[in-house]
């Protein structure tokens, strides 16, 4: 247990921020493409596992040994040449709680095809549940592309899907899930996730990346490379006090360095563009982390205005001494180009400083398009009972382009499964009770498999069922009365020849 920075702050706040090594409880850390059963603790102290219990499609590869990576996770990957959509199911989540999900991609010419050229990028889409998160656009075979999204779990699992858009075979190197405190990233709701455009740490003088354990949420804070003729680094080893309702909790190691102008009085920050090809783009939220690192003497002052393009975003800002401070957008800002400029006030003795920056954009979550939870559970159980692979992953009904082969859904909100065709599917064993979980099903075709044993009573309790096809199996025993009754009142029941004698009872 490490007790630091307590000397400087009052004890009430101190109690809340005594920290040891932060917990990795609730972290899911998947090294995609690692051999089945792999587990290891990497240099960050985080425990990684192979991906076999999170996905059942795709093929494992190593990157070409000519490429290297600083992270162990990027040496292997899983590639998806077959189905259009392939999904990981992140199981260890609680519905309604907030998470950071990070997907990482390093191509490394794993397939020997020299894809990912600047002229012909390797591209595919990334989905979070049934919603488009972003397009992955890989133009450098040796770079690690890490994309993060903050989301509220709509179920007791989160789907992360890779979708082929005919610009190369989708693949993934690592997938990570980190629980977040509920007050962080405040504009994240069940109906709205937020994708990180970038996050930067201003002030380090060399290329360092901050993540866990410095950031207990294991966000990645890359180094901002700066022009040393224009900007200079200032730093401290002191700690700060956090506001109780800090909505971003930038790690102290990020806040302990900052950039400030060498001679100019203004601090231009990076500018960034809205995607020009998306007329529905909602805009960006920006967070500027600005924490005073210097002990200002009596006649010193630091006061500045922040401009967003030509508009005053914050005026006459003075940084409260010793506090982890930031300013952020409360609505997404929609401009084709966004540029923040920090401008020293004429009567201020010191120029502006900037310690860190985050930019993210909202993604609308179509929660009403998620298949009804009972049907999802039922069909996932059926999938497990018969070990069905096909394209059966992700949401069974949505988006409709990717609905499961053999599954038909209605257009209700939420959608429900109305038809299931598993004929000629090589099913063997008994008829699963899980079929009865599909409450809205009208058509069920299990014909021409290798099913054996009894026909369970429970099939007769599926109230909406109109057609049940069981012929071409090895079923035996009596047909349940419930089914006979239903057939007599109109259910179309197709059985194998062996059953004719017992279905003609009166
Ligand atoms: C994740 O969930 C699975 C199944 O619910 C459980 O067996 C496993 O222990 C969980 N893992 C962690 C790290 O919580
Ligand atoms: C893909 O990345 C390249 C290089 O960064 C860029 O020039 C191109 O515009 C990007 N394409 C898309 C669709 O974002
Ligand atoms: C999304 O959810 C938030 C919080 O529950 C709510 O304030 C907002 O109106 C919702 N937005 C839409 C478009 O439904
Ligand atoms: C910093 O180092 C990482 C990992 O080695 C590398 O991917 C990245 O491009 C470097 N960044 C800069 C700005 O040099
Ligand atoms: C600020 O005060 C210090 C001594 O307290 C003095 O040496 C210095 O010249 C002053 N600077 C200005 C700009 O007044
Ligand atoms: C600078 O001037 C503004 C008004 O123009 C005033 O509010 C502010 O307190 C002054 N700041 C300093 C450091 O003197
Ligand atoms: C779904 O299919 C339609 C028609 O084939 C196509 O226009 C649309 O782009 C597809 N949507 C996705 C998300 O692939
Ligand atoms: C059901 O699936 C089988 C096998 O895939 C296929 O041959 C048949 O046409 C399907 N039936 C319907 C009604 O789609
Ligand atoms: C059919 O199921 C029986 C036992 O349930 C099994 O012995 C047999 O190998 C299966 N046949 C096929 C073709 O799967
Ligand atoms: C279903 O009911 C019809 C009469 O409605 C009857 O002719 C048929 O034999 C019954 N079929 C089975 C399989 O019970």
Q: Do both 483 and 383 map to the same domain?
A: yes
CATH of the domain at 104: 2.60.120.430
Domain of 352, CATH number, reads 2.60.120
- Among residues 321, 347, 367, the one where a domain terminates is 367
Distance between Cα 195 and ligand 2 center (Å): 17
Q: State the ligand closest to the CA atom of 29.
A: 1
Q: What distance in Å separates the CA atoms of residue 248 and residue 394, rounded to the nearest whole number?
A: 31
Ligand 1 center to 94 CA (angstroms): 12
Q: Could you tell me which of 233, 235, 231 has the C-alpha nearest to residue 255? A: 235
Both tokens of residue 387?
A: 């070990």
In this structure, is residue 449 part of a structural domain?
Answer: yes
Q: What range does the domain containing 478 cover?
A: 371-505
Residues of the chain with pLDDT under 50: 1-18, 497-498, 500-506
**Residue 11 falls inside a structural domain:** no
- For the chain, the C-alpha Rg in angstroms (whole number) is 28
**How many domains is the chain partitioned into structurally?**
3
* Residue 9 forms part of a structural domain: no
* Ligand 3 near 187 CB (within 6 A): no
Contact predicate 453/385, CB 8 Å: no
Smallest CA-to-CA distance from 341 within 287, 240, 279, 268 is with 268
pTM (two decimals) = 0.90
Q: Do 407 and 475 sit in the same domain of this protein?
A: yes
Look at ligand 3, atom 4, and give the residue with the nearest C-alpha: 189
Last residue of a domain, one of 154, 180, 206: 180
124 and 231, same structural domain? no
322 to 48, 248, 300, 492: CA distances (angstroms): 37, 17, 16, 76
In a domain, 12, yes or no: no
Last residue of a domain, one of 135, 165, 180: 180
Query: Where is 178: in which H helix or E strand?
Result: strand 174-180
Pocket test for ligand 5, best of 298, 299, 348 (most atoms within 8 A of CB): 299
The CA 447 to ligand 9 mean position distance, Å, reads 15
In-domain check, residue 317: yes
Q: Judging by beta carbons within 10 Å of its beta carbon (0-12, 13-18, 19+), is residue 34 exposed, middle or buried? A: buried
Residues 343, 442 within the same domain? no
Determine, yes or no, domain membership for 389.
yes
What does the pLDDT read at residue 279? 86
**Are 84 and 66 in the same domain?**
yes
Nearby residues of 479 by Cβ (< 8 Å), 6 or more positions away: 455, 493, 495, 499, 502, 503
Nearest alpha carbon, ligand 8 atom 14? 421
The strand pairing partners of 111, in sequence order, are: none
Check whether residue 402 and residue 283 sit in a common domain. no
- Say if ligand 6 is within 6 A of residue 347 CB: yes
Quick check: is 17 in a domain?
A: no
Burial class from Cβ neighbours inside 10 Å (0-12, 13-18, 19+) for residue 7 reads: exposed
**Does the beta carbon of 428 sit less than 6 angstroms from any atom of ligand 9?**
yes
Together in a domain, 96 and 222: no
Q: What's 225's DSSP letter?
A: P
pLDDT at res. 168: 96
pLDDT for 19? 53
Q: Are 145 and 193 in a shared domain? A: no
**Which residues does 180 contact at the CB level (< 8 Å), separation at least 6?**
98, 99, 100, 150, 217
In a shared domain, residues 346 and 386 = no
CA-to-CA distance for 260 and 344, rounded, in angstroms? 11
Position 16 in a domain:
no
Ligand 10 centroid from CA 472, angstroms = 18
Same domain, 382 and 299: no
Query: Are 169 and 72 in a shared domain?
Result: yes
**Same structural domain, 278 and 353:** yes
SS3 content of the chain, % helix, strand, coil (to 5): 10, 35, 50
The answer to whether the CB of 503 is under 6 A from ligand 10 is yes
d(CA 269, CA 324) in angstroms, rounded, equals 20
pLDDT of residue 301: 95
């Amino acid at each position: 247990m490490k007790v630091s920075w307590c000397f400087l702050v009052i004890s009430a706040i101190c109690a809340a921020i005594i920290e040891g090594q932060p917990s990795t409880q609730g972290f899911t850390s998947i090294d995609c493409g690692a051999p089945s059963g792999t587990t290891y603790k990497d240099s960050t102290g985080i425990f990684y596992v192979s991906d076999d219990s999170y996905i059942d499609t795709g093929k494992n590869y190593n990157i070409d040994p000519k490429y290297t990576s600083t992270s162990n996770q990027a040496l292997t990957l899983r590639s998806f040449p077959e189905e259009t959509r392939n999904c990981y199911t992140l199981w260890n989540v609680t519905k309604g709680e907030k998470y950071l999900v990070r997907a990482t991609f390093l191509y490394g010419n794993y397939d020997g095809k020299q894809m990912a050229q600047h002229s012909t990028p390797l591209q595919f889409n990334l989905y979070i549940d049934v919603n488009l998160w972003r397009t992955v656009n890989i133009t450098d075979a040796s770079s690690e592309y890490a994309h993060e999204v903050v989301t509220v779990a709509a179920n007791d699992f989160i789907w992360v899907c890779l979708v082929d858009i005919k610009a190369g075979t989708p693949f993934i190197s690592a997938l990570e899930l980190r629980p977040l405190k509920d007050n962080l990233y405040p504009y994240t709701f069940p109906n709205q996730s937020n994708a990180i455009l970038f996050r930067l740490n201003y002030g380090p003088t060399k290329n360092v990346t901050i993540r866990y354990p410095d950031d207990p949420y294991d966000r990645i804070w890359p180094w901002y490379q700066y022009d040393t003729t224009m900007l200079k680094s200032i730093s401290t080893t002191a700690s700060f006090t956090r506001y109780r309702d800090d909505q971003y909790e930038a790690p102290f190691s990020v806040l302990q360095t900052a950039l400030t102008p060498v001679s100019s009085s203004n601090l231009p920050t990076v500018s960034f563009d809205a995607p020009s090809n998306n007329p529905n783009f909602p805009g960006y939220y920006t967070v500027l982390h600005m924490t005073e690192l210097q002990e200002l003497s009596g006649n010193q002052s630091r006061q500045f205005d922040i401009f967003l393009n030509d508009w005053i975003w914050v005026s006459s800002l003075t940084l409260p001494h010793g506090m982890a401070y930031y300013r952020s957008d409360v609505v997404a800002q929609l401009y084709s180009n966004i540029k923040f400029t920090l401008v020293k006030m004429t009567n201020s003795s010191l120029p502006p400083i900037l310690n860190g920056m985050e930019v993210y954009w909202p993604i609308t979550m179509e929660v009403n398009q998620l298949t009804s939870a009972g049907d999802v559970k039922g069909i996932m159980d059926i999938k497990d009972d018969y070990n069905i692979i096909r394209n059966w992953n992700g949401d069974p009904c949505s988006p409709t382009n990717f609905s499961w082969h053999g599954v038909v859904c209605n257009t209700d909100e939420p959608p429900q499964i109305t038809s299931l065709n598993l004929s000629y599917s090589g099913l063997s064993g008994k008829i699963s009770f899980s079929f009865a979980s599909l409450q809205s099903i009208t058509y069920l075709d299990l014909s021409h498999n290798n099913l054996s044993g009894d026909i369970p009573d429970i099939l007769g309790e599926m109230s909406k069922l109109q057609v049940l096809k069981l012929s071409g199996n090895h079923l035996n025993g009596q047909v349940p009365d419930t089914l006979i009754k239903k057939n007599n009142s109109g259910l179309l029941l197709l059985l194998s020849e062996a059953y004719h004698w017992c279905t003609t009872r009166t």
